[in-house]
Amino acid sequence: MSEKRKLSVAVNGTSYDEDVEVRLTLADFLRHQLGLTGTHLGCEHGVCGACTVLVDGLSVRGCLMLAVQADGTEITTVEGIAPSATELHPLQQAFHDNHGLHCGFCTPGMLTTLLELLRDNPSPTETEVREAISGNLCRCTGYQGIVDAALDAAERLKDGGGDSR
């Protein structure tokens, strides 16, 4: 059985009209149908947060949404964060400067989750940063570099270092 549906979706500003299997998860659609492999799968049961993407500006777990449910939405993935091919977004730059990533597998979910936080709360406390990423597991960093990066990015964004999407 492979029931399909039409899906219109904008991902990182590009419009796509695709036929998708109704059981395809949003994460698998992005990864395997659109080739946007920056969104990672770490658990596929909604705990690790690696597959977090922004759907209409809100962070969601890409493994807990069907692709068909994204019809008509605008999605931002990790590939859509940097302003250009040569520049990094201030949040990405802060991750680089604060050693906020080791293996980099959880990083796409951390970045998308923190983009939402910094938009909704431009001056988060350390506690608020930690709570914001409490649904994103990292096995490498001990989170300290990530938390430092988020706080650093908040400062940079306040200084006019770019939009927070």
Q: Pick out residues in 119-148 that bind another protein (CB under 8 A).
A: 126, 129-147
By CB under 8 A, how many residues form the interface with another protein? 82
Contact positions with another protein (CB under 8 A) in 16-55: 21-25, 28, 31-32, 35-50, 52
Measured on CA atoms in the order 147, 148, 153, 158, is the torsion positive or negative? positive
CB 132 within 8 A of CB 114: yes
Q: Does 111 bind another protein (CB under 8 A)?
A: yes
Which residues on neighbouring strands pair with residue 60, listed in sequence order?
A: 53
**Nearest distance from C-beta of residue 10 to another protein, angstroms:** 17
> 3-class DSSP state for residue 70?
helix
Does 161 engage in binding with another protein (CB under 8 A)? no
Beta sheet of 74-76, edge-to-edge order? 14-21, 4-11, 74-76, 52-55, 58-61
Taking the least distance from each CB to another protein, the nearer of 18 and 97 is 97
65 lies in the site for another protein, by CB under 8 A: yes
- The two tokens of residue 164 are 């927070």
Instruction: Looking at residues 84 to 103 of the shown chain, list those that interact with another protein (rule: CB under 8 A).
Output: 88, 92, 95-97, 99, 101-103
Out of 2, 15, 17, 159, the residue judged to bind another protein by CB under 8 A: 2
Tokens representing residue 156 in the block? 């940079």
Between CA 48 and CA 91 the distance in angstroms is: 21
Query: Which of 3, 4, 114 lies closest to 59, judged by CA?
Result: 114
| Contact with another protein (CB under 8 A) among 7, 75, 106, 154 | 106
Give the residue with the Cβ less far from another protein, 10 or 46: 46
